[in-house]
Amino acid sequence: MSESPESADADASELPAPKRGVAAWRLPIVLFLLTVISTLWVGAQMNGVEAPGIADLWRGWNFSLPLMAILLAHEMGHYVAGRIHGVAVSPPHFIPLPFSLLGTMGAVISMSGRIRSRDALLDVGASGPIAGMVLALPLLIYGVHESPVEPLDMSQPILLEGHSLLYEAVLFALKGPFPPGHDITLTPTALAAWAGLFVTMLNLLPFGQLDGGHISYALVGPRQDRISRRMVRLLPLLALGVSAFYGLRSYLAGEHASVIEGNAYAGVPWLVWGVLLLLMARYSGYEHPPTDDDTLSPGRRAVAIGCVVLFALLFMPAMLRSFDGSQ
């Protein structure tokens, strides 16, 4: 049974009327198409086209299509849940970034007003990660199955993707232990699925208005505000710890100076993310908008705990790191 905005879980007195019709979707559609082009461009490079032109973009479909499907599922999960609960929610705005590893910085959705119930807050916060993982996990299984395990190129340093518990489990289940001197060479589809895990992990950080912040507030209430503050303090320490661990390990192994330097920067993404969270906190505050109740239904509590477990399974200490293939 659907509800009208006036009777739903969003505080209608605080919400501007959502834009409707073509006008609300004009800019999001343009940004979506530009992001498709930028991810096709990056995907074409993954498939061996050094300087892709317009005629070469189609070669990147096996990276662009799965990545955009995962991101779109994630954002539309939020959008649909928001509309069901009467929240004034914008269409997803994708961010094209062609000169980057993935060709995009993901997408954002803005919500106005306050969500009144913890059940609705949990639905809106958890729907994106769940919808994205519904696509990301089978794509990862398919992509890893199709990716070869090959001898490492021992003539030059190698850049390795971050590993999480879930990613390690899929690798082991499908490929078993790698022989010494070997590693998996991810296909573009497998890399797109890995990116889906990475994006989901970042969004599940229990901070402010991130998905993880919504989920955590629905689970523990105002205590989430203290968790947000601690998260901003923790990430620089995490960055330092990751860099020290991988950099020192490379140094003790006698690896090449460039690899030691590369691993010494392994924690920098966490520092950058910490700065971004700090800026978000300066703009919107650490305090999550309160709900009018303090109850979470048993089924939704199980979903919230499942999302916490999912974050633990997706956590990547080092998002990217170096390996000295020349040793």
* Residue 231 φ then ψ, to 5°: -60, -45
| Nearest of 232, 312, 214, 310 to residue 270 by alpha carbon | 232
| Nearest of 108, 113, 122, 119 to residue 87 by alpha carbon | 113
| Nearest of 181, 186, 191, 324 to residue 261 by alpha carbon | 324
Burial class (CB in 10 A: 0-12, 13-18, 19+), 257: exposed
* Residue 96 φ then ψ, to 5°: -75, 140
Per residue in 275-327, pLDDT (tens digit) is 999 998 888 888 888 888 889 999 999 999 999 999 999 999 998 887 765 44
Question: Quick one: pLDDT band at residue 17, thresholds 50, 70, 90?
Answer: very low
Per residue in 135-151, pLDDT (tens digit) is 999 999 999 999 999 98
pLDDT for position 9: 45
Is the model's pLDDT at 8 over the cut of 60? Answer: no
3-state secondary structure 161-203: ECCCHHHHHHHHHHHCCCCCCEEECCCHHHHHHHHHHHHHHHH
List Cβ neighbours of 307 (8 Å cut-off, separation of 6 or more). Answer: 126, 129, 130, 204, 212, 215
Global pTM reads 0.89
